[in-house]
Amino acid sequence: MPLVLTEEQEMLRDAARGFLDAKAPVSALRKLRDTNDPDGFSRDLWKEMAEMGWAGILVDEEFGGADFGFVGAGVLAEEMGRTLTASPFLSTSVLAATALKKLGSDAQRQQSLPKIAAGEMLYALAVDEGAKHAPAKTAMAAEKHGNGFRLSGDKTFIADGHVADKIIVAARSAGAPGEEQGLTLFLVDAKSNGVSVERTQMVDSRNAARIRFDGVEATGDDVLGEVDGGYAALEGVLGAGRAGLAAEMSGAAQTAFKMTVDYLKERKQFGTEIGRFQALQHRAAHLYSEIELAKSATLKALQELDESYDMAGVVCSLAKAKAGAAAKLASQEAVQMHGGIGMTDEYDIGFYMKRIRVAQEMFGDPAFHADRIARLRGY
């Protein structure tokens, strides 16, 4: 398959760009932050996105979705990255939709997927327990209790955790922290007894939460996929999330870069445009190259998810590693080349730096994913 977008995917991109520029520019995120919005995103906007088929971009048509595949989802994520649009897209429409589609029983899919596609139900995926992403180290207990389980433990860095209606949570039903075997995924209602949610105010002004599970009851029907065999399943879902984040970062990096190059052409010092200075030109040209690499790795990961989902994990790591590193560089160079104005809250570039910092950390930073590739290559 050629490493380019199809005509259909390009049309989706163009439509998304027009919509987001009009309805969800960076100023919208700024407003959500400044008004300390309790949701942290606009429910009206989400409704519109659902009407356009975005919420159900991965959901099969029989459940009311657009079934546009991972490349389609990535196209949307990239465009939202350009405008830093706050929405439950990643948590609900990428992570949860993938989990339910790939792992859900018939009943679970029938119950959840139409509501995801309609934008009526919000989800969150709770994996991390420590400051650094390490799914195999999951310690949260899933104790067998009667016919079901009792879930106890603390989860952190959960995107959209404070607005989610349902939480997909990884817990340990067997084995010891550090072992891949023994993980199980559960689908938990956020209103269940024993669930306490703390909204965390993050650097990027986007939604996140810490959630405590204190003896939360789960039945066999709440298990998503296999008992004890949830690690590989979780990896698959995380792969989709990583590729989605890579796409978002790629979009954010491209926009931060464009703002920077525009600034180099217009800002004058020493009587001339600073973009004439070779010291800055070479840094900009290098950054251009890095962003091109990030775009290629990201598109490849999304295509692999569509073509061979089970084998896509490594390429998703590649995309997350490369896009994370390139986007970080883009945001750092952007602030430096903007000079003093780049340090002001009034100017948008800081929002890009903050969002990229959070997105590159989520589900594994570049070092985590580079190390994963090293492991697979036998060193």
- Residues near other proteins (CB under 8 A) are 2-4, 261, 264-265, 272-273, 275-276, 278, 281-282, 284-286, 288-289, 292-297, 299-300, 318, 321-322, 325, 366-367, 369-371, 373-375, 377-379
Q: Smaller CB distance to other proteins: residue 40 or 366?
A: 366
Q: How far is the CB of 323 from other proteins (least distance, A)?
A: 9
Q: How far is the CB of 286 from other proteins (least distance, A)?
A: 7
Q: How far is the CB of 270 from other proteins (least distance, A)?
A: 13
Q: How far is the CB of 177 from other proteins (least distance, A)?
A: 17
The tokens for 146 are 């009667």
Pairing between strand 123-126 and 166-172?
A: parallel
List phi, psi (to 5°) of 363.
60, 35
Q: How far is the CB of 103 from other proteins (least distance, A)?
A: 29
Q: Smaller CB distance to other proteins: residue 288 or 336?
A: 288
Q: Smaller CB distance to other proteins: residue 225 or 366?
A: 366
Cβ count within 10 A of residue 371: 14
Q: Smaller CB distance to other proteins: residue 140 or 264?
A: 264
Residues in contact with 71: Cβ distance below 8 Å, sequence separation at least 6, in sequence order: 5, 6, 9, 299, 302, 303, 306
Q: Smaller CB distance to other proteins: residue 272 or 344?
A: 272
Q: Smaller CB distance to other proteins: residue 4 or 107?
A: 4
Q: How far is the CB of 318 from other proteins (least distance, A)?
A: 6
Q: What angle do CA 248, 254, 256 make, to 5 degrees?
A: 100
- Residues paired with residue 144 on neighbouring β-strands, in sequence order: 149
The tokens for 352 are 């890009």
